[in-house]
Structure 1
Amino acid sequence: MTHQEILKKVEWKDLKSLSFKEMLIENNLTIPWFVISMVLSYFGYYLLALPFSAFFFLTALRQVHNGFHNSLGTNKFLTWFTLYSNSILLMVSIHAVKFNHIRHHKYCLSDEDYEGKSARMTWYGAILYGPVHMFLIHKITLQLGNKNYIKNVVLELLSIAIVTFFIFNFNVHFLIYHILIMVFAEFLMAFFAVWTVHHDTEESPEYARTQRKDWKNKITFSMFYHLEHHLFPAVPTIKLPELARRIDNVFPDIEKKQTF
């Protein structure tokens, strides 16, 4: 079946809108994890802070990912501010990530899809490729992006550089911890955000991998409903479990390759 056939037969447009409660959740999901990780690292409990830092990174990724597709339920400026502020917190230009992610949807797993390059690698190759991946998405955005993208990328990189300089200059130990963990996490993005959901799907790129185990989706904040996301990118993450149920009801035999 084609993508267009699925779009026509699955009810999904009502899932695009967020209630006020859902909007609050999507826009504030990162806060408790960030606060707890900062408090623990402030007092020197770095090992205890690690899982909370990991959950912060994952929820921030969910937040900006919704922002890429204008699915946060906020206006244009607030969506931009979410991307900008998370650039500083995540130590990467989120507008560079956005530029390549939108291209990823348009050119999925083709030669023009720079975000998706690690999908064709081995799992360990994708891990080793991580630092190159992070450099490449910035380089490609500065080369191919329009003036607005370039302006935002430069602003975000300058802001990251200034904040990082002051943190290291004044030796703010818990923020240094945060920077190091975020950079390490960014280097794993080619594996976790690309390879896990797209490897061995080159023949039908639109049918990305997905996850159907409830407990796995809970601990990953629904970020591995990737088949559903690629078929219906405008649907916010919080609505993906319902979207998955609707797809299963209409197309029970559709192939669902698991992420992990």
Structure 2
Amino acid sequence: METHTLPSPPIPRLEDLGLDLLTTSARQRAVALARPLIGVLVYAIAVQFGLWYVTPLIVFWIFVAVVTVTHDVVHGGIGLSARQTDLWLFLLGAVLLESGHAYRLTHHQHHRVFPGPDDPEGDPARLTFWGSVLQGPFFLPKLWLWSLRRTRDRQAQRRWLIAEAGVHIAVIAASLLLWKTAPALLAYVVMVVCGSWVYPLLTVHLPHRDYGETPLTQTRTLRGRIIPAIFLELTYHLEHHLYPQVPSHHLARLVQRLDPFFREAGVEVWRVP
């Protein structure tokens, strides 16, 4: 007997879910942009008081804060002008010795083509677990080189990329030269550089592992109270892929409004604490 699979219901339009999900107040914008800088200040205070044992946790928080707000800046979610966007991509990238402009170029490409080819950010999704782990030290340089090649005819963006690389090299060199007098700088550099090596695994491979070809199967969503709060709602990866323009501070609200559709469409929700 011939069987028929019922088609999935259409993905709701953002207009139907509520355009209030796109709003960002001045306070929300200020808090999002200030978090990484506050994290760096807290790191300096901890070092000053000899609290070295808490510095890895502080750097972890800085990572979460930077990745979250950079996501919002890249997608134009917190109301910055074009000039402000360029400046904040530079500053936020500098906090973690990364290229904010390379991230913008490769992340937009990821949203455009995944799971297709020519997606340097999404490549770890096609690797094995250990393949994505081994990709770690090469991941950010690969994104930067891809971006540099793509901006041959966009000199303004190319200058940002080169400036970011120059600052990062200078900071790393200074941390090595001054390690006796400023060990906190070297410790910070080591933690942020080594910390970035988990990007391919944690931000690409695991969220997209065993991905499908449809928008609802290309990535996962993790639901809970503690883990999403710790990661500033970054665990709502499927929701972000469906509506990238929604800023992180509204993702929890977006989740609530999408739940009926997800249940109807049979979307698997992963439960975490």
Q: What is the TM-score when the length of structure 1 is the normalising length?
A: 0.91
| Equivalent-residue separation in structure 2 for 1:167 and 1:176 (angstroms) | 5
- Per the TM alignment, residue 32 of structure 1 is displaced from its structure 2 partner at its CA by 3.3
Q: Is the 8 A contact 1:210 1:227 kept in 2?
A: yes
1:139: which partner in 2? Answer: 145
- 1:185 maps to which residue? 195
Kindly name which structure, 1 or 2, has the bigger radius of gyration based on alpha carbons.
2
Q: What is the DSSP-based 3-state SS (H/G/I as helix, E as strand, rest coil) of the residue aligned with 2:114?
A: coil
**Inter-partner Cα distance in structure 1 for 2:138 and 2:16:** 38
Q: 234, 238, 263: which is aligned to 1:227?
A: 238
- Evaluate the alpha carbon distance shift between residue 31 and residue 19 of structure 1 in structure 2; reply closer, same or farther with a 3 A threshold: same
Match of 1:241 among 228, 252, 257: 252
**Is this contact kept in 2: 1:30–1:59, CA < 8 A?**
yes
**Is the counterpart of residue 152 in structure 1 residue 163 in structure 2?**
no
Per-residue CA deviations over 1:183-240 (Å, capped at 9, x if unaligned) read: 0111111111111211111333554211111111011111111111010010000000
Counterparts of 1:76 and 1:168, CA distance in 2? 35
1:9 to partner: Cα distance: 7.4
Which residue in the other structure is 2:176 paired with?
A: 168
Query: Contact 1:53–1:181 (CA<8 Å) still a contact in 2?
Result: yes
* Residue 256 (str. 1) matches residue 264 (str. 2): no
- The match for 1:61 among 58, 62, 67 is 67
For residues 109-142 of structure 1, the C-alpha deviation after alignment (integer angstroms, 9 at most, x for no partner) is 2112111011122222211111222221111111
* TM-aligned CA deviation for residue 257 of structure 1: 4.6
> Which 5+ residue runs of structure 1 have no aligned equivalent?
none
Q: Residues 173 and 180 (structure 1 numbering): CA distance in 2 closer, same or farther, change over 3 Å?
A: same
Greater CA drift, 59-68 or 154-163: 154-163
Secondary structure at the aligned position of 1:114 is classed as: coil
Say if 1:59 and 1:221, in contact at 8 Å, map to a contact too: yes
Matched, 1:97 2:103: yes
Which residue does 2:39 correspond to in 1? 33
SS of the residue corresponding to residue 223 of structure 1 reads: coil
2:223 is equivalent to residue 217 of structure 1: no
Q: 1:129 is aligned with what amino acid? A: Q
Q: Secondary structure at the match of 2:214?
A: coil
CA contact (8 A) 1:210 1:224 kept: yes
State percent identity of aligned pairs: 22
* Number of residue pairs matched by the alignment: 260
Rounded Cα–Cα distance in structure 1 between residues aligned with 2:36 and 2:10: 35
Q: Which amino acid aligns with 1:185?
A: G
In structure 1, what residue type is equivalent to 2:239?
E
| Equivalent AA in structure 1 for residue 248 of structure 2 | T
Contact 2:221–2:236 (CA<8 Å) still a contact in 1? Answer: yes
Farther off after superposition, 36-45 or 101-110: 36-45
In the alignment, is residue 114 of structure 1 matched against residue 124 of structure 2? no
Letter in 2 for 1:193: T
- Structure 2: 5+ residue stretches without partners: 1-6
Which of 82, 96, 99 is the equivalent residue of 1:76? Answer: 82
Query: In 2, distance between residues paired with 1:259 and 1:174?
Result: 38
The equivalent of 2:208 in structure 1 is: 198
Instruction: Flag the 1:78–1:259 CA change in 2: closer, same or farther, 3 A.
Output: farther
CA distance in 1, matches of 2:8, 2:148: 34
Question: What do you get for the CA RMSD once the two structures are aligned?
Answer: 2.2
